[in-house]
Amino acid sequence: MPRPPSIRPLFSAATLAARVSELGESLAASHADKAPLILGTLTGAFMFTADLVRAISPHPPGLSVDFLRASSYGAGTVSSGEVVVGGGAGSLGTKVPITSRHIILVEDIVDSGRTLAALKRALESAGAASVTVVALLDKPSGRVAGGAEADLTGFTVENEFVVGYGLDWDEAWRGLPYVGVVES
Residue positions annotated with a catalytic role: 111
**C-beta separation of 108 from 167 below 8 A:** yes
Alpha carbon 153 to chain centroid, angstroms? 10
State which of residues 24, 36, 44, 180 lies at the interface with Mg ion (CB under 5 A). Answer: 44
CB of 152 to ligand IMP, least distance (A): 16
Q: Which is nearer to ligand IMP, 126 or 173 (CB)?
A: 173
Residue whose CB is less far from Mg ion, 166 or 180: 166
Judged by CB under 6 A, the chain residues 44 through 63 that form the site for ligand IMP are 44
State the DSSP H helix or E strand holding residue 103, giving kind and residue range, or none if neither. strand 102-110
End-to-end CA distance of the chain: 13
- Is residue 167 close enough to count as binding ligand IMP by CB under 6 A? yes
Q: Which entry of ligand IMP, Mg ion, none binds 60, CB below 5 to 8 A by partner kind? A: none
List all residues 6 or more positions away from 112 whose beta carbon is below 8 Å from its beta carbon: 79, 81, 142, 143, 144, 147
| Least Å from the CB of residue 108 to Mg ion | 5
Give 46 or 161: the residue with its C-beta nearer to ligand IMP: 161
x/- mask, ligand IMP, residues 10-39, rule CB under 6 A, reads ------------------------------
Task: Count interface residues toward ligand IMP (CB under 6 A).
Answer: 19
Helix ranges (DSSP H) in the chain:
13-30, 46-55, 114-125
79 binds ligand IMP (CB under 6 A): yes
In the shown chain, the binding pattern of residues 86 to 115 toward ligand IMP, with x for contact by CB under 6 A and - for none, equals ---------------------xxxxxxxxx
Sequence-separated (6 or more) residues with CB below 8 Å from residue 159: 139, 141, 142
- Strand order of the β-sheet with 102-110 is 82-85, 64-73, 37-42, 102-110, 130-138, 152-156
